Amino acid sequence: LHVLPLFHIGGSGVATVGLYMGCANVVHRDVDPAAIFADIPGHRVNAGFMVPALLQFLPMMPGASDVDFSSLESIVYGASPITEEALVASLALLKCPHTQVYGLTETTGALTLLVPEDHDPGGPRAKLLRSAGKPLPGVELRIVDGGGHDVAAGEVGEVWARTVQNLKGYWRDPEATAEAFPEGRDDQGLGWFRTGDAGYMEDGYLFIHDRIKDMIVSGGENVYPAEIENALMAHPSVADVAVIGIPSERWGESPLALIVPAPDTNPSEEELIAHCRQLLAGFKIPAAVERIDAVPRNPSGKILKTELRKPYWEARDRQV
């Protein structure tokens, strides 16, 4: 089952693998939960690639628990971060092995894999649900600071990748290509590619924090929106959330949480901030919580944070 656009590597790559294996491909033009619920049992779909936002919303849909998902043998997901709560709910609903892939269109697909055996919410390594998995064969990863120097294990930095899968360059854009490969390339064309993602390595597993460009610098501290989003999604009255940085005279930037309340709930700002205080360091607590009707996303499920930030940064010379 394909619900990702075919211009996205997650869509075209998985579809190509399916064709190579001789599989029938069920392609959806748009993300329509009702069509997904009909086609999985209707076509006896045994595998699919889905974005985290879809896995998050499917268990919330009316009638989800009545759908026959028994044909499913594998769900692969990726393209954006996923909260632990959404992943646990998806495992419970779909009742099949889940595999996470992390990669970019520029890397021709996956760099890391979190295998089904590492999806064990009640086990001793439940924290791996927050991981993007281990590097695939032929993939090397580094975590570097702003100066391009390797950081210590467990320390957050930018993820750099070296693999033959990396792009040759951006079409007719040598400046962007040079920026993506700051150390150049060797005679075989291999070089370290800047992913633009913030993360860290622990015990051989990659943990992605957020996009570097989405990071909030509040009072000199780096705050990653995905961490706050993960905390808020653990609250039963939150159906969806996006966290952005907004101007602060005192701190430069402060986190703002934009939430979509769960049906028939009415969470207060004070309640949600108190919830965050139980899970996050003080400097990561949202300065405010506002309600929105829906979180805007692009076709691959990524939150359109530039669009959300715009009203708060208008008429300002700086955007950070």
Q: What is the pLDDT along the chain (320 residues), one digit of tens a residue?
A: 988 888 888 888 888 988 999 999 999 988 899 999 999 999 999 999 998 989 999 999 999 999 999 999 999 999 888 888 999 999 999 999 999 999 999 999 899 999 999 999 999 999 999 999 999 999 999 999 999 999 999 999 999 999 999 999 999 999 999 999 999 999 998 999 999 999 999 999 999 988 999 999 999 899 999 999 999 999 999 999 999 999 998 899 999 999 999 999 999 999 999 999 999 999 999 999 999 999 999 887 889 999 999 999 886 655 54
At a CB cut-off of 8 Å and minimum separation 6, what does 146 contact? Answer: 158
312/290 Cα distance (integer angstroms): 13
> What pLDDT does 316 receive?
64
Structure-block tokens of residue 150: 């390797």
Residue with tokens 């703002």: 256
CATH number of the domain at 215-313, please? 3.30.300.30
> What pLDDT does 109 receive?
86
Distance of CA 304 to the CA centre of its chain: 12
> What pLDDT does 33 receive?
92
Instruction: Centre a 10 Å sphere on the Cβ of residue 282 and count the other Cβ atoms it contains.
Output: 8
156/148 Cα distance (integer angstroms): 13
> What pLDDT does 317 receive?
53
Specify whether domain 9-96 bears CATH 3.40.50.980: yes
The residue extents of the domains of the chain are 9-96, 140-211, 215-313
239/89 Cα distance (integer angstroms): 12
Residue with tokens 């040598």: 174
Instruction: Centre a 10 Å sphere on the Cβ of residue 314 and count the other Cβ atoms it contains.
Output: 7
Specify whether domain 140-211 bears CATH 2.30.38.10: yes
194 neighbors 136 (Cβ within 8 angstroms): no
